[in-house]
Amino acid sequence: MYGLRQAPRAWNTKLDTTLLSFGFRRSENEHGVYMRGKAQKRLMVGIYVDDLIITGDDDAELKAFKEDMKKQFQMSDLGTLSYYLGIEVCQGPSGITIS
């Protein structure tokens, strides 16, 4: 799809359709944010172009979601978020710090 004029639209449509089929709902206030589940089972996905930030409290839910996504897309898991869009993210026992 890269290099085609309609590539970004096609990618967004495919990703949106996939996430909705997985039971996510798109945020009414921020269309780049999708949510699924409640309380400890809640997953949130933030999207910027073709990068996704996935967060949630349940490790099994996170792992299952990543496996489902790998079945649909060629993707890599970069692990714990440490740097994104020019923001450094430090995660530790006392909380999360961004700078």
Q: In this predicted structure, what is the pLDDT of residue 2?
A: 55
Question: pLDDT tens-digit profile of 6-51?
Answer: 778 888 899 999 999 999 999 999 999 999 998 888 999 999 888 8
Does residue 1 sit within a domain?
no
And the tokens for 99? 């700078």
Does residue 80 sit within a domain?
yes
Does residue 67 sit within a domain?
yes
Residue 49 is part of which domain span?
Answer: 7-98
Total count of domains within the chain:
1
Confidence of residue 89 (pLDDT cuts 50, 70, 90): very high
Buried b (16+ CB within 10 A) or exposed e, 3-22: eeeeeeeebeeebeeebeeb
Does residue 64 sit within a domain?
yes
Does residue 2 sit within a domain?
no
Q: In this predicted structure, what is the pLDDT of residue 61?
A: 93
Contacts by 21-28, CB closer than 8 A, 24 or more apart: 22/65, 22/68
CB atoms near residue 77 (< 10 Å): 11
Question: pLDDT tens-digit profile of 62-86?
Answer: 999 999 999 999 988 888 888 888 8
81/30 Cα distance (integer angstroms): 21
Q: In this predicted structure, what is the pLDDT of residue 84?
A: 86
